[in-house]
Structure 1
Amino acid sequence: MKFIGIVGTNSAQSTNRKLVQFMRNHFSETAEIEVCEIGDFPAFNEPKDKVAPEGIRVLSEKINEADGVIISTPEYDHSIPAVLKSLIEWLSYTTRPLIDKPVMVVGASHGSLGSSRAQAHLRQILDAPELKARIMPGSEFLLGHSLKAFDENGELIYSEKVKELDECFEEFCLFVSITNQLVKDHRFKTEQNRKFTWEQLADGGEKA
């Protein structure tokens, strides 16, 4: 399988980057995970032509071609970073590659909660009509105290967390296989979702 691993922050020292990089190396015999950075993308500005900047279009194509997406998010003020929200807004407003795409949400934080509130918020966002990602249910990977979690070689040193991540990733691979088969059998619905606009609703929707 081929996955896109999104580092959901523009911080140069983020342990979420270390988490995605660890997953890429640790699961290399099971899947190919391409680590993608988003820190250099411009802030979303709702262009009238609905065309995203080149870097975001490239990432969108990679998502389209991948079997699934892994997003690692830190937690800022009980939510996801602005740079990650901006990327999601670009994708939902333009190419919509996340529709029916299997997504695994993970996260690391310096405290004990492991970005739990940000992950919950991200799941809610990914269920929006313009996104409609297929989010793996009933499974969370929360890496707390992440500043001490990795050694100098980028290895995750909490053995119980490695075991937990192994189980979550195995479930995700199964979830991807099942989901992509279901989506393949209902491709028309996916294309209809990509054409959704709030203007179709009688009340004009929530956007302004």
Structure 2
Amino acid sequence: MKIVGITGSTSERSTNRKLLQFMKKHFSKNIQMEIFDIKGFPAFNEPEERIAPMEIRELSDKIEAADGVIISTPEYDHSVPAALKSLIEWLSYTTKPLVDKPVMITGASHGSLGSSRAQAHLRQILDAPEVKARIMPSAEFLLGQSLQAFDEEGNLNDKEKIAELEDCFTEFLLFVEMTRHLLKERSTRKKDVNSFSWKNI
């Protein structure tokens, strides 16, 4: 199973990047994960021709080819970082690779709440009419105090947190398979999204 991991932070010391790297290694028997940083991506500027920059198009192609996506987001001011929101805006405005794509949301933060508000906000964004991702329901992985959560080799320290992550990930694999079966006979959804416009509402 091919998974695209997206780090929702541009920080050089991002613990969300560490979390995805741990997942890539820990679940290597189940998936092939390619991790993408959003650092350096241009800010969304609503181009009239609806063509994204090359680096955005390359990520879009990877998402299209993947079985699922895992986004790990920090929390800035009770929300997702602007750079992550900008990426989703590029994707929804141009190629729309997240339509019906199974998405798992995780998050790490330096505080104790583990990006809970940001994850809730990200769910709203991914459920927008222009995005229409398939977000894994009733499950979230919150990693608080993330600066102390990893050892020198990048492994999670807390066995209970590892077990919690394993449970969430097992559910995600099942969610990907269920989504695949659910959508097997459908072919109109992306067409509906491509024709969506707030001007017609």
Give the alignment's TM-score, normalised by structure 2: 0.98
Does residue 45 (structure 1) correspond to residue 57 (structure 2)? The answer is: no
The alignment covers a number of residue pairs equal to: 201
Asked whether 1:107 is paired with 2:143, we answer: no
Instruction: State the distance in 1 between where 2:44 and 2:166 align.
Output: 35
Where does 1:1-208 land on structure 2 (aligned, <5 Å)? 1-201=1-201
- AA aligned to 2:178 is I
Unaligned 5+ residue runs, structure 2? none
Alignment gaps of 5+ in structure 1:
202-208
Deviations 1:28-72 (A, max 9, x none): 000111111111100000000000000000000000000000000
- Between the aligned partners of 2:46 and 2:84, the Cα distance in structure 1 is 16
Amino acid at match of 1:163: A
Worse overlay, 56-65 or 177-186: 177-186
1:204 maps to which residue? none
**Aligned-partner residue type, residue 164 of structure 1:** E
**Counterpart AA for 1:142:** L
Deviations 1:146-174 (A, max 9, x none): 00000111001111000000000000000
Q: Distance in 2 between matches of 1:182 and 1:40?
A: 36
Cα distance in 2 for residues equivalent to 1:190 and 1:164? 34
Contact 1:3/1:70 (<8 A) preserved:
yes
C-alpha distance in 1 between matches for 2:159 and 2:166: 11
Identical residues among aligned pairs (%): 64
C-alpha distance in 1, partners of 2:170/2:137? 13
Q: For residues 99-144 of structure 1, give each alpha carbon's deviation from its aligned partner in whole angstroms, at most 9, with x where no partner exists.
A: 1000000000011100000000000110100000000000010000
Contact 1:183 1:190 in 2 (8 A): no
Give the Cα separation in 2 of the matches to 1:13 and 1:138. 29
1:165 & 1:16 partners in 2: Cα distance?
A: 14
SS in 2 for 1:185: coil
Q: Distance in 1 between matches of 2:30 and 2:187?
A: 27
- For residues 2 and 200 of structure 1, what CA distance do their matches in structure 2 show? 37
SS class of match (1:184) = coil
Provide TM-score, normalisation by structure 1. 0.95
Give secondary structure in 2 for the equivalent of 1:98: coil
Contact 1:99 1:194 in 2 (8 A): no
1:205 counterpart residue number: none
Aligned amino acid, residue 161 of structure 1 = K
Distance in 2 of aligned mates of 1:58 and 1:108: 26
Alignment-mate amino acid for residue 131 of structure 2: L
Aligned residues: CA RMSD = 0.8
Q: Which amino acid aligns with 2:168?
A: C
C-alpha deviation, 1:194, in angstroms: 2.9
Per-residue CA distance 1:73-96 (angstroms, 9 max, x = gap): 000000000100000110011011
